[in-house]
Amino acid sequence: MPDTERIFSGIQPTGRKHLGNYLGAIRQYVEGQDRGQGIYCIVDLHAITVPHEPAELRERLYDTTAVLIAAGLDPERCILFRQSDVKEHTELSWLLGSVTAWGDLNRMHQFKEKSEQQRELVSAGLFFYPVLMAADVLAYRATEVPVGDDQRQHIELMRDIAERFNARFGEVLQVPAGRYPRVGARIMNLQEPTSRMSTTYGPEQGTVYILDDADAVRKKVRSAVTDSGTEIRRAPDKPGITNLVDVLAVIRATDPEAVESEFEGSGYGDFKRAVADAVVDFLAPVRERYADLRPDEDAIETALATGAEKARAIASDTLVDVRHAMGIGPPRS
C-alpha cells in the first residue's frame, strides 16, 4: 500500500469544460498536487462508451489537456496521462468484473440516464463503465478520489469492489475515499438551477464554459434564473440564488454565509454583477494560458507520454499483485 497520500481522479475529454467541472473537480486536482502524489487521467476509454467522432475525440482530448495545465496542473509535479496509453486499466477492469455484482451495475444512476439518451445502441461498455472507473483508481492504490457530488455512487461501488476483492483474495487493493467539496460539489445550470451544469443536457445559455469570453460570461450570469424575492440567501425554495452564492463563495474561498452577509439588503442586480465579475476574473488567466498551450500538440503529446510512463510504473506493480492473488498467469518469481 502507498506510504504517502495518493490522489487519483479522471476527467472525460468529451465536451467543452465548464465552470462546474472547474469548481467541482479541476481545482481539487490542482490543490492535490501539494497534499500528496497527484495522478490525473484523461479517460478517453470511457468516452467511447457512447457514440463519438474519432477525430473530434482526439481534438477534445488535446483541449482538455491544455485546460488542465492552464488551470494549474504541472506535469512536473503530478502524473498527467491519457487512459488508453496504460493498458493495465483495461486488464484490471476485466479482473475486477469477477467480483462485481451485475445487480450493482444495473442500479447505477448514470447508466440509466445515459442509456435513455442512446437511440441506436446502448453499449455493454456503458454498462461496464463503473468497473473500468474502479480499475482506474484501484490500479494506483489511490487513497483519495477528488470528484464532484454526481460521482458519489461510483465511488461507493469501487469501494465495495475493493473490499470484496480483498475479502476473497487477501489485502491487495487500497480502499479509496471520495473527496467532495463542502461547497461547489454540484454547480447547477444557470437557466435550470435544479439540474447540474452539463455540456450534454440543459440550456447552453445556462452553462458557463471555461473558455467563454468575458462578455459571454457576464451575459449568462446576469440572465441567470432566480426567483421573485429579493433576499440573497441559500434556501431550498431559492435554487438559483443558492447556486450563485455557492459559486461566489468557492471563487473567493470563503463561506456561503459570508457572501450572504455581504449582500444583505442588496438587490439581485448588484449581486449578479458581483458574481459575473468574479467569474470573469477567475477564468481569465486560464483562458489566456490555454491560448498559449493549445496550439502546440507535440508538447501536449510529450507531456501525456511522459505521464503514461510514470503511471504504468505504478499500475504494473498493482497488476502483478492482483494476478498473483487471483492465480492468473505464471507464478510470481
State the CATH number of the domain containing residue 281.
Answer: 1.10.240.10
Rounded Cα distance, 224 and 247, in Å: 12
Q: Which helix (H) or strand (E) holds 112?
A: helix 109-117
> Would 197 be classed as within a structural domain?
no
Q: Give yes or no: residues 23 and 168 share one domain.
A: yes
Rounded Cα distance, 117 and 124, in Å: 15
User: Looking at residue 11, which CATH number applies to its domain?
Assistant: 3.40.50.620
Q: Give yes or no: residues 40 and 98 share one domain.
A: yes
> Would 250 be classed as within a structural domain?
yes
Domain count, the chain: 2
> Would 95 be classed as within a structural domain?
yes
Q: Which three cell numbers stand for residue 209?
A: 464554459
Q: Give yes or no: residues 259 and 284 share one domain.
A: yes
> Would 186 be classed as within a structural domain?
no
Q: Give yes or no: residues 254 and 175 share one domain.
A: no
Q: Give yes or no: residues 315 and 265 share one domain.
A: no
Q: Give yes or no: residues 47 and 109 share one domain.
A: yes
Rounded Cα distance, 148 and 319, in Å: 28
Residuewise pLDDT in 10s, the chain (333 residues):
666 789 999 999 987 899 999 998 898 899 888 888 999 999 999 998 888 899 999 999 999 999 999 999 999 999 999 999 999 999 999 999 999 999 898 888 776 677 667 667 778 888 899 999 999 999 999 999 988 777 888 899 999 999 999 999 999 999 999 888 777 778 999 999 999 898 877 889 999 999 999 999 999 999 999 887 888 999 999 999 999 999 999 999 899 999 999 998 888 999 999 999 999 999 999 999 999 999 999 999 999 999 999 999 999 999 999 999 999 999 887
Backbone angles phi, psi at 113, to 5 degrees: -65, -50
Query: What pLDDT is attached to residue 262?
Result: 94
Q: Give yes or no: residues 12 and 151 share one domain.
A: yes
Rounded Cα distance, 37 and 29, in Å: 11
Q: Give yes or no: residues 172 and 315 share one domain.
A: yes
Positive or negative: CA dihedral 46, 49, 55, 57: negative
> Would 320 be classed as within a structural domain?
yes
Q: Give yes or no: residues 62 and 155 share one domain.
A: yes
119-139 pLDDT per residue, tens: 677 788 888 999 999 999 999
Domain that holds residue 83: 6-179+297-326
206-226 pLDDT per residue, tens: 999 999 999 999 999 999 998
Q: Give yes or no: residues 152 and 210 share one domain.
A: no
Q: Give yes or no: residues 20 and 166 share one domain.
A: yes
Q: Give yes or no: residues 14 and 142 share one domain.
A: yes
